[in-house]
Structure 1
Amino acid sequence: MAGFVAMIVYYLVLLQTFDIFAAKDEEWKSGTATYSKETDGSIVTEGACGYGDLHKINYGKYSAGLSSMLFNRGSTCGACYELRCVDHILWCLQGSPTVILTATDFCPPNYGLSSDYGGWCNFPKEHFEMSEAAFAEIAEKKADIVPVQYRRVRCDRSGGMRFTVSGNSRFFQVLITNVGMDGELVAVKVKGSRTGWIPLARNWGQNWQSNVNLHGQPLSFEVTSSSGRALTSYSVAPVNWQYGQTFEGKQF
């Protein structure tokens, strides 16, 4: 019996290991990249994912706006991509170094311009709008647009997931940041000390909402990543939590 249990544990570990490496070794795909000029070397702080100040949540210059083909109406927010400049002898840095970015914003289409001259985020283009500092790690800043190869990779985060609560007595919202592994969440539940588990609806980006009044109760969260992994953080927020506060939970 002990040998059978040991075998089951072995195969579970093996499957988990395979799962991690499969997520990390996606095939390279072709796309394009540009950058936006910002004085602090970052991209805009109020992006379409709702993260606010990207430096405060440690995404900073390694953030990117995605074309609609990749943005997927905000469900890709928080996902991580590895990029390298390819096939351009003048603009790509020697050795094709890579950079890892987090999806934090939407790059809107401009159908008044052609997809190869200004309309870089037009559907179905697969395009990344990077910060100037991150772009300079893979290509010459003189370039307007460069061809890239990209792939989804595992997000390596420091510390636990962060839950920022906002709203009022009739509207509860939580912004979830610093998500490891897949980076993106597909389902979120919240539980107060006087409630069962309540599924939250995606408001926008990684903002999740409900009309329930949870004030005056310690809060627990259950999140599910895009690969189906679920993680529960119990009593993340204490009974006296206030709107606008951020709390740290477990990490994948």
Structure 2
Amino acid sequence: MGFPLSHYCSFLWVIVLLPVLCNCEDTFTQSRATYYGSADGLGTPTGACGFGEYGRSINGGKVGAVSRLYRGGTGCGACYQVRCKIPNLCADDGTKVVVTDHGGGGNTDFILSPRGFSTLARPNRAADLISYGAVGIEYRRVPCQYPGSNILFKVHENSRFPDYLAIVMLYQAGRSDITAVDIWKKDSQAWRSMRKSHGAVWDMANPPKGPVNLRLQVSGRGGQKWVQLMNVIPSDWKAGVAYDSRFQLDY
């Protein structure tokens, strides 16, 4: 018994469209990249994302500032494959960089750390690439991978116990975005939204007493959902300390 013609046509449309639906987020975008000055070749701990030292050294210092990809701080921590396009000079696969800062100029999408920019080149050709100053590139978003690491909730240095709590999330894997953060108020039995302070930093004045329970709104390729994490920050939290969430995003 054969398929009805309508079913056969629908099947053909699935075959034709499925590669498009699957690969549209994996295509490369054409742009330009340059680099900023750094004595040690790494990133800067004063980046707009609020990552601190993490923003200087994560991914071996292969980090970068972005303009439109910053997305009001939502793009902080995202990972991209970046490759330049000069024949016989640029490495075929380019390099992976982590977004830790906001910045633009020279019609570029990426301003990379010196180490990040250098690894766009083939072996022993970094000096030649750096001499260009700015180069044409193509990039695409890729999953961040931190084997063996959970998301850390760092209490930002500007926090003041117990009256003001600011947090930033480190080692977020996958390629999802955290678009909202709520904190549980036990006295009112309700979730209350934290404010996006700047970059990847979320804050709240007069936070609830006791262990901190959070709810994260996560947006990615699979859509949007909420993730609840209980007791991720202790009741006696301290500014500058990072706490292991025992949780990791994998999408």
Residue 240 of structure 1 deviates from its aligned partner by 2.7
SS at match of 1:226: strand
Question: How many Å separate the matches in 1 of 2:219 and 2:136?
Answer: 28
Letter in structure 1 aligned against 2:237: W
Deviations 1:104-154 (A, max 9, x none): 11114xxxxxxxxxx41xxxx442111111211113222211100001111
Query: Is this contact kept in 1: 2:213–2:228, CA < 8 A?
Result: yes
Please name the residue that 1:150 is paired with: 139
Query: Is this contact kept in 1: 2:34–2:108, CA < 8 A?
Result: no
Stretches of structure 2 that go unaligned for 5 or more consecutive residues are 1-17, 122-128
Please name the residue that 1:214 is paired with: 208
Please name the residue that 1:26 is paired with: 26
Question: How many Å separate the matches in 1 of 2:72 and 2:143?
Answer: 21
Stretches of structure 1 that go unaligned for 5 or more consecutive residues are 1-17, 109-118
Fraction of identical pairs, as percent:
22
What is the correspondence of 1:177-196 to structure 2 with a 5 Å cutoff? Answer: 177-182=170-175, 184-191=177-184, 194=187, 196=190
Please name the residue that 1:240 is paired with: 236
Question: How many Å separate the matches in 1 of 2:26 and 2:52?
Answer: 29
Question: How many Å separate the matches in 2 of 1:57 and 1:89?
Answer: 30
Question: How many Å separate the matches in 1 of 2:202 and 2:23?
Answer: 25
Question: How many Å separate the matches in 2 of 1:191 and 1:79?
Answer: 27
Residue 241 of structure 1 deviates from its aligned partner by 2.4
Question: How many Å separate the matches in 2 of 1:231 and 1:23?
Answer: 27
Pair 1:129-2:111 in alignment: yes
What is the correspondence of 1:35-54 to structure 2 with a 5 Å cutoff? Answer: 35-54=35-54
Query: Is this contact kept in 2: 1:182–1:225, CA < 8 A?
Result: no
Query: Pairwise CA RMSD of aligned residues?
Result: 2.6
Give me the TM-score of the superposition, normalised by structure 1. 0.75
Please name the residue that 1:7 is paired with: none
Letter in structure 2 aligned against 1:135: F
SS at match of 2:69: helix
Deviations 1:57-113 (A, max 9, x none): 73441211012x222222211111111111x237x32x52321111111114xxxxx
Letter in structure 2 aligned against 1:50: G
Please name the residue that 1:6 is paired with: none
Question: How many Å separate the matches in 2 of 1:126 and 1:70?
Answer: 11
When residues 183 and 59 of structure 1 are mapped into structure 2, their CA distance, relative to the original with a 3 A threshold, is farther
When residues 23 and 106 of structure 1 are mapped into structure 2, their CA distance, relative to the original with a 3 A threshold, is farther
Number of equivalences:
214
SS at match of 2:115: helix
What is the correspondence of 1:77-96 to structure 2 with a 5 Å cutoff? Answer: 77-86=76-85, 88-89=86-87, 92-93=89-90, 95-96=91-92
SS at match of 2:130: coil
When residues 23 and 241 of structure 1 are mapped into structure 2, their CA distance, relative to the original with a 3 A threshold, is farther
Query: Is this contact kept in 1: 2:45–2:56, CA < 8 A?
Result: no
Residue 192 of structure 1 deviates from its aligned partner by 5.5
| Higher share in helix | 2
When residues 236 and 22 of structure 1 are mapped into structure 2, their CA distance, relative to the original with a 3 A threshold, is farther
Query: Is this contact kept in 2: 1:162–1:177, CA < 8 A?
Result: yes
Please name the residue that 2:11 is paired with: none
SS at match of 1:208: strand
SS at match of 2:26: coil
Letter in structure 1 aligned against 2:117: F
Query: Is this contact kept in 2: 1:155–1:183, CA < 8 A?
Result: no
Pair 1:73-2:72 in alignment: yes
Which of these two proteins has the greater Rg computed from alpha carbons? 2
Query: Is this contact kept in 2: 1:82–1:99, CA < 8 A?
Result: yes
Deviations 1:142-193 (A, max 9, x none): 2211100001111112311111124234322111121111253101112265
Letter in structure 2 aligned against 1:223: L
Letter in structure 1 aligned against 2:120: I
When residues 229 and 99 of structure 1 are mapped into structure 2, their CA distance, relative to the original with a 3 A threshold, is farther
